[in-house]
Amino acid sequence: MPVRTLGTGKAALEVSAIGLGCMGFTMSWPPFLPHDEAIAAIRAAYEMGERFFDTAEVYGPFANEELVGEALEPFRDDVVIATKFGFALHGDPDGGEGGEGEAPLDASGRVQQTDSRPATIRKAVEGSLRRLRTDHIDLYYQHRVDLRVPIEDVAGTMQELMDEGKILHWGLSEAAPATVRRAHMVTPVTAVQNEYSMWWRRPEEELIPTLEELGIGLVPFSPLGKAMLTGRFDAGSRFSDDDYRSKIPRFAPEHMAHNVAMAEYVESLASERGVAPAQIALGWLLAQKPWIAPIPGTKHVERMRQNMGGAAVTFTADELADIREHLDAIHIEGARYAPVQEALTNR
């Protein structure tokens, strides 16, 4: 697997060009694998050359970190583990009411209240270290910005945790460019994790130029458009109530008939090259900037293998220009999040 460098200077971190997003092992994408099969799948990714694994305390909650920690324990010194803090999962860290795991949920069962108070962060990092079976976290993201806590305070806490050796690098997820800039002034940021793909390109407007200026890496989640860019769906595809996509406007029946045009275009590119649509989508992302490292998620070993093959797909400048022209001409209908979730982004 080729490698890429996120961040610059002391904030630089070398990772696999294409990582593995592990959320789906415990959240959002049922049916879930039995425990032993999930462990085997994560270890299979390692055996195939994967070295960059992404998790979060909220995925479960907590179960995902436990799974990833167990799976990677034999190889801990040979992998990069990224996890996240920032949701209200720990009750009152100052000793008030509320216990670990208790948090307000939205209609889709997702935690929606943020909490990045320094005391909460310290409680969160200790839990993540324990569940991940490690003495340090390679990359620690603020999962969503907490408007009640100045980002400078969060960045300062990250520096303290670095000084203590509990984390090596830090980043933010779904943060506004101005927030990233403020955070970076206090403690250099290694990476920002935001959604970015052929069918969600808003980061190109302001975020990517900001990251390029500051020397910060980008780790795109949902680089395959929650599987929309894999060739698995058509205009008639529908999703069960326990599938997270059933709560996303873009996947609503009234929008699928229109949005499938994007999937069909990616499939046409894949057919021309004799590769999988997912490999086109991932190769395209890698071609945008040398400091981009996407983290497609899957529970299936063969799809892991296929996704990793996206690192071998390259494009000429003329091909990229032609693709951009086609993408610009395809209008996507429907929001990428329900309103309550969108409200937590770009702030």
Catalytic residues: 59
Rounded distance between C-alpha atoms, residue 268 and residue 260, angstroms: 12
Per the structure block, which two tokens stand in for 93? Answer: 């860290």
DSSP secondary structure, 203-267, as one string: GGTTHHHHHHHHT-EE--BSTTTTTGGGT---TT----TTSGGGGSGGGSHHHHHHHHHHHHHHH
Rounded distance between C-alpha atoms, residue 49 and residue 55, angstroms: 18
CA proximity to 286, closest of 8, 19, 87: 19
Radius of gyration of the chain (CA): 19
Rounded distance between C-alpha atoms, residue 336 and residue 245, angstroms: 10
For the chain, how many residues are written?
347
β-bridge partners, 221: 195
CB 174 within 8 A of CB 141: no
Quick count: other Cβ atoms within 10 Å of Cβ 35? Answer: 13
CA 48 to chain centroid, in Å, comes to 21
Rounded distance between C-alpha atoms, residue 228 and residue 247, angstroms: 15
**Count of alpha carbons within 13 angstroms of residue 86, beta-carbon side:** 27
- C-alpha angle with apex 61: 189 to 75, nearest 5 degrees? 65
| Residue 37 three-state SS | helix
- E strands of the chain, at which residues? 3-6, 13-16, 20-21, 52-54, 80-85, 139-142, 170-173, 191-193, 217-218
